[in-house]
Amino acid sequence: MRALVQRVSAASVAVDGAVLGEIGPGLMVLVCAMQGDDEAASTKLAEKISKLRIFRDDEGRMNRSVADIGGAALVVSQFTLAADTSRGNRPGFSTAAAPDEGERLYLHFAGELARLGLPVATGRFGADMAVTLTNDGPVTIWMDTDA
């Protein structure tokens, strides 16, 4: 699975002008299931992200996790993280999981973050979503369970 993780002071996601999920300080997580991914990859990614020490401690160092600061996660499906730009100018997305499998693993990932004790808000799989966020830092980290 792939994820783009951003430390945020606030984030929200809306569909057709209606806000589906919003958080204050925490993590904006764009996530994509790839072909061959399974629940184990989803769980592994959730565990890694929940422990990722990218929040400032009292000395200003990135030493705290989202749980340490009492933050939340906004999880949004993002199949374009599977983009292959190696040929031509139009990205290919053939390495992304099929939609049914992608949705199942996306929901599993969000559920795993919640199981780990994080408040979780989500978007709507497959919808045209408007995501708003304030990146704090900025801190943006690319993660891939195959890397």
Note the maximum CA span of the chain: 48
As a whole number of angstroms, the distance between CA 56 and CA 84 comes to: 34
Among 6, 43, 55, 78, the active-site one is: 78
Q: Cβ(23)–Cβ(119) under 8 Å?
A: yes
Angle at 94 between CA 89 and CA 97, to 5 degrees: 140
**Which residue in 6, 55, 79, 122 is the catalytic one?**
79
User: Of 80, 132, 134, 140, which is the active-site residue?
Assistant: 80
Structure tokens at 92: 């290919």
Question: Is 80 among the residues known to form the active site?
Answer: yes
Is position 85 annotated as part of the catalytic site?
no
In the annotation, is 134 catalytic?
no
Catalytic residues: 78-80
